[in-house]
Structure 1
Amino acid sequence: MAMRLTPYLLMDGNAKEAIQFYEQAIGAKVLEIISYGEMPEMPNTFTSELKNLVAHAKLQIGDTDLMFSDNPSGSPIQKGKQITLCITTNDAEKSKQIFEALQQGGQVNMPFEETSFSPAFGDVTDKFGITFQVYTES
């Protein structure tokens, strides 16, 4: 089973600008960008401005990945949420074990379940206030 730990940056509507900056400043290579408008489960009430925000982006910097998304709510980003850690596995059962362990004494932000982008995904803040996204690759 493979497992990786990747920093995930939550941006305040300027993820595209940050991505372009990191491309120029440190030679980041864009691997993927998906807007909220491209996500099948997003509400039809999203304005065109919100639909153009980044729902998920993945960059490669050397041998390391860096991921981004924009905060779609327009509200300030909560303390402890601007940088989260994404734990990626290729085993849904292992991902579930990790998620369940991290939620002990913590708070579930998004239940562990199948999504349009992962067969098993959840978002949890542990008892120390660190937020983890547990992501399973297909």
Structure 2
Amino acid sequence: MTLGLVPYLFMDGNAREAISFYEQVLGARTEFVQAFEAMPANPDFPLPEEAKGLIAHAMLSIGESTLMLSDSFPGNPPQQGNQVTLCIMSKDKERSRTVFEALQQGGQVQMPLQETFFSPAYGTLTDKFGVTFHISTEAPQP
């Protein structure tokens, strides 16, 4: 079996919204979604009412990549930070622009999409869920 690395995002009660958003702007396909309430009951650890509709685990396919996410359990909110960022690679400058413009809705741009020495279209932003993305277009090969 090949070893793989899959980013996993912990959301603060808005995983369903994030899934829908990533389906829309990234063309993600939802492969699997399970709410906490669908998990087997454990009498020693009863599920709080506020957890029942939250997402315990979801897996999305985006192009040739996989993204996993879930809501954090009530009382254990995620810590936002920039230790992990996601880089979306494209061979098409216009596709990069479309993705960048869609992800910036409700978010904050750190570096506008622009030509750099390593990419014909590169930029960074944090989306409305606090996830930082690098959008990078592959440079044409000579």
TM-score (norm 2): 0.51
Give the aligned partner of residue 70 of structure 1. 71
Map residues 48-87 of structure 1 onto 2, 5 A cutoff.
49-78=50-79
Which digits, 9 at most, give the CA deviation of each residue in 1:44-83, with x for residues without a partner?
2420x31110000000000000000101123432356995
Q: In 2, Cα distance between the equivalents of 1:52 and 1:82?
A: 28
Matched-pair contact (CA < 8 Å) for 2:55–2:70: yes
- Matching of residue 2 in structure 1 with residue 2 in structure 2: yes
The DSSP-based 3-state class of the residue aligned with 2:7 is: strand
How many residues were matched structurally? 83
- Matching of residue 13 in structure 1 with residue 13 in structure 2: yes
Q: Which has the higher strand share?
A: 1
Give the aligned partner of residue 95 of structure 1. none
Map residues 125-136 of structure 1 onto 2, 5 A cutoff.
none
Cα distance change, pair 25–56 in 1 and its aligned pair in 2 (3 A): same
Which digits, 9 at most, give the CA deviation of each residue in 1:83-111, with x for residues without a partner?
59xxxxxxxxxxxxxxxxxxxxxxxxxxx
Aligned partner of 1:23: which letter?
E
Matched-pair contact (CA < 8 Å) for 2:37–2:47: no
What's the % identity of the aligned pairs? 48
Q: In 2, Cα distance between the equivalents of 1:28 and 1:18?
A: 11
Aligned partner of 2:38: which letter?
E
Q: In 2, Cα distance between the equivalents of 1:70 and 1:59?
A: 14
Give the aligned partner of residue 46 of structure 1. 48
Higher Rg: 2
Cα distance change, pair 12–36 in 1 and its aligned pair in 2 (3 A): same
Structure 2: stretches of 5+ with no match in the other structure: 86-142
Hey, which bits of structure 1, 4+ residues long, moved more than 6 A? none
Query: Cα RMSD (Å) of the superposition?
Result: 2.5
Matched-pair contact (CA < 8 Å) for 2:6–2:67: yes
TM-score (norm 1): 0.53
The DSSP-based 3-state class of the residue aligned with 1:31 is: strand
Give the aligned partner of residue 25 of structure 1. 25
